[in-house]
Structure 1
Amino acid sequence: MALTTSPYLSFPGNAGEAFPYYHELFGGELEVQTYDAMPSLEGFPFTPPPGAVAHATLTAPGITLAGGDGMGDHLPSLSSDVYSFLLTFDSVDEARGFIDKVVGGGGAAGMPFEEAPWGDMYGQVTDRFGIRWDVSVPARR
């Protein structure tokens, strides 16, 4: 069985800003489809706001993110300590570079990036959209 998994994020109306930001962070290929570009919305159970993202996919080395704009009046925040995305880098410099990019782009460092009790380098950073990224570099054994 061949299986792939991609997190799907429902943004509270700002997917059109979020996906270009993730494209800047990770590189790769970004595809964005807005509801405006659809040939017809006849039969949809809602009326999307102008420019709303129906579906976006970012495919980059080691990561695929998908998502769009959620619809409704009471959308939950993406910020949560209940989930996070673990990124495993090959080097401390790459990991620190990622953390610096996220913080420099309006995010916030959570747990400092340092040696963890299990021997790996580990830290946490939350981007400006509320997504927490756990950053790891395996210990050289």
Structure 2
Amino acid sequence: MDNQADQEPRTGLTPHLTIRDGRAAEAIEFYAKAFGATEHIRVPADDKKRLMHAHLTVNDTSLMLHDDFPEHRGGGEAPAPAGVLLHLQVDDADKWFNAATAAGAEVVLPIGDQFWGDRYGQVRDPFGHLWSIGCPIKK
């Protein structure tokens, strides 16, 4: 893992995922297998059972995640992920799609050539997050 203090400040938009059921550490392992994620930092919570923060890089882009903390958002179970699609624009959509499904992602939309010119498909990770994977159709 890199020392985050040694990195230049980042700008842009970074997805920050809430992982339900205390499975953030499991999510890190999944994203490493499915999407080649590199872990930069992992910060455990005071209870040592959950992760307060983790910073990964997927496809040269930051992804942050943490376990759910109902006590800091009014209680109850976090809602299932909905309304957000994480898109990976990659060099070889089939390779990335196959790695994701081999790691345990559920196929939502099979990979295929699309009318807009991309090879594209969608998967749902074991934590409920929806991912699309695409690249230009190779000629």
Provide TM-score, normalisation by structure 1.
Answer: 0.76
Identity of aligned residues (%): 27
Q: Any idea what the Cα deviations from partners look like across 1:32-83, whole Å, max 9, x if unmatched?
A: 11014xxxxxxxxxxxx541101000024422110211212321112x3x21
Q: Any idea what the Cα deviations from partners look like across 1:74-103, whole Å, max 9, x if unmatched?
A: 21112x3x2111111123xxx222222222
Structure 2 residue 28 is the aligned partner of structure 1 residue 30: no
Query: CA 1:18–1:6 in 2, change beyond 3 Å: closer, same or farther?
Result: same
Q: Is the 8 A contact 2:28 2:39 kept in 1?
A: no
Matched residue type, 2:27: A
Q: Is the 8 A contact 1:83 1:132 kept in 2?
A: yes
Aligned position for 2:5: none
Aligned position for 1:98: 96
Shift of the alpha carbon at 1:23? 2.6
Q: Any idea what the Cα deviations from partners look like across 1:80-127, whole Å, max 9, x if unmatched?
A: 3x2111111123xxx222222222222211112111111211111111
| Aligned CA-pair RMSD | 2.1
Q: Is the 8 A contact 1:28 1:61 kept in 2?
A: no
Structure 2 residue 21 is the aligned partner of structure 1 residue 20: no
What SS is found at the alignment partner of 1:86?
strand
Aligned position for 2:18: 10
Unaligned runs of 5+ in 1: 37-48
Provide TM-score, normalisation by structure 2.
Answer: 0.77
Unaligned runs of 5+ in 2: 1-9, 71-75
Whichever structure has more strand as a proportion of its residues is: 2
Q: Is the 8 A contact 1:28 1:59 kept in 2?
A: yes
Structure 2 residue 71 is the aligned partner of structure 1 residue 74: no
Matched residue type, 1:10: T
Aligned position for 1:89: 90
What SS is found at the alignment partner of 1:112?
strand
Whole-angstrom CA distance in 2 between matches of 1:71 and 1:111: 31
Q: Is the 8 A contact 1:105 1:128 kept in 2?
A: no
Aligned position for 1:114: 112
